[in-house]
Amino acid sequence: MRRFAMTVTSKGQVTLPAGYRRMVRAEPGDQLEIIVEDDGQAKLRKKSGRLADHFGSLADYGGGPTTRTDETVAAIDSAMAEQDARSRR
């Protein structure tokens, strides 16, 4: 695990350390997201565009599930990997 320190400016801005940008391969125009847990812990990550990242995001519109399980994410990732492999043949 690596830790990176950032300072919040008076405008509420931070500069991402170069080491972090390299680790996540963040480039200008990429989107990042902050996930804040109920206990206040926060995670910053580069949005991947994977379908699994959006699971449950439309739950308010259709009454579907509002959380995802590791099993569901693994199933989605597996199906997408199989589809990708088929399309590359």
Asked if 36 and 68 sit in the same domain, the reply is no
- How high is the pLDDT of residue 14? 93
**Domain shared by 32 and 7, yes or no:** yes
Domain that holds residue 63: 49-89
Tell me: do 85 and 60 sit in the same domain.
yes
Rounded Cα–Cα distance for residues 57 and 3 (Å): 29
What is the token pair recorded at 86?
């088929």
Q: What is the pLDDT of residue 55?
A: 59
Residue 80 contacts residue 51 (beta carbons within 8 Å): yes
Output the furthest CA–CA distance in the chain (Å, rounded). 53
The pLDDT tens digits for 34-80 are 999 999 999 988 887 666 655 555 555 555 555 667 777 788 888 88
43 and 62 belong to one structural domain: no
- In a shared domain, residues 8 and 42: yes
Residue 20: give its domain's CATH number. Answer: 2.10.260.10
Total domains in the fold of the chain: 2
